[in-house]
Amino acid sequence: MSDVFKCFVFYVAFTLFKVTGIDFTISRENVLLGSTGTLTLRCNITETDVETLYSIQIKQLRSPTLSGNNDDEWQRLAFMRISTNESPTLDSAIIPSDKDYGAGGSWDSTTPANTYLTLDMKIEKLVCDDAKTFKCDLSYFSNSQSTKQTLSKNTTFTAYVKPQVTSLVARKNGCIVQGMSPSDMATAYVGDELEFTCTANIGSSSQTMIRWHRTSETSQNDEFIGYQPSQGTFDEGSAISDNQCGYIRVASIRYNTTSADANRDNNLAFECYVTVSGDPYGNSYISENNPRFYTEVYNPCSEDSDGNEISISAAVIAAIVITSLIVGVLIGVVFTLVILNRKRTLTGPKSQNQHQPTRETELNVPSLSPNTYEQLQNRIDTESRITYDSLDASANSSAVQDSQSQYESLTRGEGGTSHTYAGLNNNQ
């Protein structure tokens, strides 16, 4: 056998020997976060060409974006080391205290194959960021090499999150309504459009869809059954990464209430949920504590004298209500104006006519004092003079002359004044 061939065989054997000199395993490759149990990393030595053990360590890559080629890109979690720390030890300077990690293993310098190191992690305390690459490092002096040797092997696990519905928003005819429990139901009428928007963390698969339940029409209890929206009435939304290890999806459906909803034995209710299956979810996993919407549907109908239903549409009802409000406002305004006007009449100053009797009233007095004629004469003189003065300012000369003639006639007693006086004296 040539020396070149011997060197080649030695290199291949050494390479294979080196690769198989350490075994690094993980108890679960897929981990459902939020579940219970223990995730265990175990590093075993299978190397036989070991003269002296130096150290065995379990490390974690600091960030998934790093290459892991440099030693400073790793942080140590657990280790055993010759002389000083031959018992399993956690690196408390790196591991947060709330993680509750545990280190285990055995150091056997006589039989290195019996040496192993473990790291236990409680699954309920893991988060998406913990699903990084782990590495087991073995340092030793071999029988055949005079320098320190290092073996390493990597492993990792995939973290999955449980699907969970975070919110359900209901709208009736475009307006947000409440009704998230049987004791706080919404009210709807036949023909109303209900729209539901569901936001959920759909788990770690972007292909997972949001699904819907609706109460059965025949059950007297809140029995929810599968509901598939008709074509054109739903939007399944897009899956968006939550920058951890899950996806967010927002889906919506629209539903028009029917006469069957008004005649059902139980309440109309909807629920959105997420279901996933496969490793690590098992055969099927359904999101828990899903929000629900409840509503009671009414049929706004009455009957005429013949027993025929008369349907009153929501638009007619709205028109009646609006008209009643307008009429009520107008009546209120008119009533207010009447009250104000009445109050002003009662409290305002009296006119001159309310204080002074008319001439006809004075003439119809059945008994007059002896100086009645003089009083009448003075009054006539006063009124005539006022009339004359006002007409004197006018440019119409004929009107002025007429007024003067009227005054002179009244002064001479014409126009019935003397006769009125004589008649009054005869009556007395």
Per-residue confidence (pLDDT) for residue 50, from 0 to 100: 87
- The residue whose two tokens read 């025929």 is 308
The sign one gets for the Cα dihedral 163, 286, 212, 259 is negative
Q: How many residues does the chain have?
A: 428
Residues 6+ apart with CB under 8 A from 221: 266
138-161 per-position pLDDT tens digit: 999 888 887 889 999 999 999 999
> Same structural domain for residues 152 and 203?
no
What is Dmax (Cα atoms) for the chain? 181
Per-residue confidence (pLDDT) for residue 42, from 0 to 100: 97
pTM for this structure?
Answer: 0.62
Computed on alpha carbons and rounded to an integer, the radius of gyration of the chain in Å comes to: 53
Structural domain span for residue 188 = 164-303
In 27-83, DSSP assigns E strands to 30-32, 38-45, 52-61, 74-81
> Same structural domain for residues 150 and 13?
yes
Per-residue confidence (pLDDT) for residue 376, from 0 to 100: 57
Enter the tokens of residue 55.
């150290």
Per-residue confidence (pLDDT) for residue 160, from 0 to 100: 96
> Same structural domain for residues 284 and 387?
no
**Distance, CA of 311 to CA of 302 (rounded, Å):** 7
Enter the tokens of residue 410.
């009244």
Give a yes or no: residue 314 inside a domain.
no
**Distance, CA of 247 to CA of 238 (rounded, Å):** 9
Enter the tokens of residue 288.
């828990």
Give a yes or no: residue 334 inside a domain.
no
323-360 per-position pLDDT tens digit: 878 888 888 887 888 787 776 666 655 544 444 444 44
In order of 78, 199, 257, 264, 323, the CA distances from 314 in angstroms are: 72, 31, 13, 21, 14
Per-residue confidence (pLDDT) for residue 332, from 0 to 100: 81
Give a yes or no: residue 327 inside a domain.
no
> Same structural domain for residues 274 and 190?
yes
Per-residue confidence (pLDDT) for residue 138, from 0 to 100: 94
Per-residue confidence (pLDDT) for residue 345, from 0 to 100: 67
**Distance, CA of 359 to CA of 351 (rounded, Å):** 17
User: How many domains does the chain contain in total?
Assistant: 3
29: left (phi over 0), alpha (psi -120 to 50) or beta: alpha
Per-residue confidence (pLDDT) for residue 222, from 0 to 100: 84
> Same structural domain for residues 138 and 204?
no
Where the chain has pLDDT below 70, the residues are: 1-20, 301-318, 343-428
> Same structural domain for residues 183 and 266?
yes
> Same structural domain for residues 55 and 182?
no
> What CATH number corresponds to the domain at position 27?
2.60.40.10
Q: Is the peptide bond before 280 cis (omega within 30 degrees of 0)?
A: yes
Half-sphere exposure for 240 (CA within 13 Å, toward CB): 10
Per-residue confidence (pLDDT) for residue 388, from 0 to 100: 53
> Same structural domain for residues 176 and 125?
no
> Same structural domain for residues 145 and 169?
no
Per-residue confidence (pLDDT) for residue 342, from 0 to 100: 74
Enter the tokens of residue 263.
């005649």
> Same structural domain for residues 174 and 197?
yes
